[in-house]
């Protein structure tokens, strides 16, 4: 899939090896990995950070290969859902940083355009999350209330 607001195809970065089984050198116990995921979530780590910690420190190359489900689905099964999805929160943090930058640099037209593009992504994602039931129907993006929403 191509990027939303650029001419690029969005294919940078390395690709994961095509493996269908968990390697024998990795952690094999599913209950230990699920407990680690819950502990790391309680420590305040994001889903992506939990996956990175499991890969680097606990020899779990892929949570999905081992458990058959993602980190976010493990958390949702245990009632640890976030009020606002992580992707949406990251976009709102980025928008807040641009708003702070534009307060000091009012003539920065390039970043003003980037703020408009990010806000359109936020609204589009919010519409999707509302349709999937991951976000309440009363939730609405407002630039003046953004500081209160961002954790």
Q: Among 44, 77, 110, where does a domain finish?
A: 77
**What are the tens digits of pLDDT across the range 102-134?**
999 999 999 999 999 999 999 999 999 999 998
In a domain, 22, yes or no: no
84-110 core/surface letters (b: 16 or more CB in 10 A; e: else)? bbeebbebbeebbebbeebeeeeeeee
**What are the tens digits of pLDDT across the range 48-77?**
999 999 999 998 888 999 999 999 899 989
Provide the pLDDT confidence category of residue 1 given band limits of 50, 70 and 90.
very low
Confidence check: pLDDT of 2 > 60: no
In a domain, 110, yes or no: yes
CA 103 to chain centroid: 27
Q: Among 77, 108, 140, where does a domain finish?
A: 77
Question: Sign of torsion, CA 133 119 73 11?
Answer: positive
Q: Range of 59's domain? A: 30-77
- 92: domain CATH number is 1.10.287.10
The model's pTM: 0.78
In a domain, 70, yes or no: yes
R_g (Cα) of the chain, nearest Å: 19
CA distance 84 to 5: 23
Mark whether 63 and 43 lie in a shared domain: yes
Mark whether 104 and 124 lie in a shared domain: yes
Number of domains composing the chain: 2
Residue that wins the pLDDT comparison between 15 and 47? 47
DSSP-based three-state secondary structure for 98: helix
Q: Is 53 exposed, middle or buried (0-12, 13-18, 19+ CB in 10 A)?
A: middle
- Lowest-pLDDT choice from 31-35, 48-52, 146-150: 146-150
- Lowest-pLDDT choice from 4-13, 41-50, 83-92: 4-13
Confidence check: pLDDT of 12 > 80: no
In a domain, 23, yes or no: no
In a domain, 15, yes or no: no
In a domain, 13, yes or no: no
């Amino acid at each position: 899939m191509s990027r939303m607001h650029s001419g690029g195809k969005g294919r940078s970065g390395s690709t994961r090896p095509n493996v269908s089984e968990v390697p024998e050198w990795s952690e094999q116990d599913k209950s230990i990995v699920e407990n680690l995921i819950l502990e790391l979530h309680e420590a305040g780590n994001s889903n992506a950070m939990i996956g990175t910690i499991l890969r680097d420190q606990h020899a779990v190359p892929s949570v999905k290969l081992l458990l058959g489900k993602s980190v976010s689905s493990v958390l949702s099964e245990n009632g640890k859902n976030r009020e606002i999805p992580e992707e949406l929160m990251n976009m709102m943090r980025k928008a807040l940083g641009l708003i702070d930058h534009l307060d000091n640099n009012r003539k920065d037209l390039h970043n003003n355009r980037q703020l408009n593009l990010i806000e359109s992504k936020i609204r589009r994602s919010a519409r999707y999350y509302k349709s999937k039931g991951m976000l309440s129907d009363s939730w609405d993006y407002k630039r003046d209330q953004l500081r209160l929403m961002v954790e």
